[in-house]
Amino acid sequence: MSAATQLAQLSPQIHTISLFVNNAPGVLVRVALVFSQRGFNIESLVVSPGAEGRFARMTITCSGESEVLEQIIKKLAKLVDVVHAIDHTGDLAYETEIALIKIECPLEERTAILQITEHFKARVVDYGADSMILQAFGSSEKLDALISLLHPFSIAELVRSGKLLMARGKSTT
């Protein structure tokens, strides 16, 4: 068995779950409690209003065992305010994430940073005398790669939106 195969078996799978919920106070707390009770850590969480204001969409990214996640989804689906809960892991879906990255950099380092930025189709949204802010979007893996290449240039701040997801075709998100 190769080292990569062994590592893949040891590291928990990343899951992306979408919830369609009533847009009401306390729903987020009840959803988070379900994950907490099962010992799952929510790695990213995006909440936004749905097409109708009375509903909201939650996109949750977490890692862990599939069997436990199935139990979590069943429990989430039973919550009063949850219309439906779907695990999109492995589904055909469009996924994206946004990152803002502030880099402390003197003028002599900017050329190298701008070359990396261009390669990842990111853009500079703010220039300062000794810093710049980059905006990038794409898959989580793309942003991870960009951030790892920028680490030697002294990242001062990093903000990521968390994964956004929409099922392709007529499938429900």
74-121 pLDDT, tens digit each: 999 999 999 999 998 888 888 999 999 999 998 888 999 999 999 999
The whole-number pLDDT of residue 137 equals: 95
CA distances from 32 to 13, 21, 114 (A): 19, 13, 39
Fold of 3-90: Alpha-Beta Plaits (3.30.70)
The whole-number pLDDT of residue 11 equals: 56
| pLDDT (tens digit per residue) in 40-71 | 889 999 999 988 889 999 999 988 888 888 89
Distance CA 137, CA 69 (A): 28
Give pTM, 2 decimals: 0.78
Q: Where are the domains of the chain?
A: 3-90, 94-166
| pLDDT (tens digit per residue) in 133-145 | 999 999 999 999 9
The whole-number pLDDT of residue 39 equals: 85
The whole-number pLDDT of residue 2 equals: 47
Residues 99, 158 contacting (CB under 8 angstroms): yes
- CATH architecture designation of domain 94-166: 2-Layer Sandwich (3.30)
| pLDDT (tens digit per residue) in 2-42 | 444 444 455 568 889 999 999 999 999 999 999 999 888 89
Q: Do 3-90 and 94-166 come out as alike in CATH topology?
A: yes
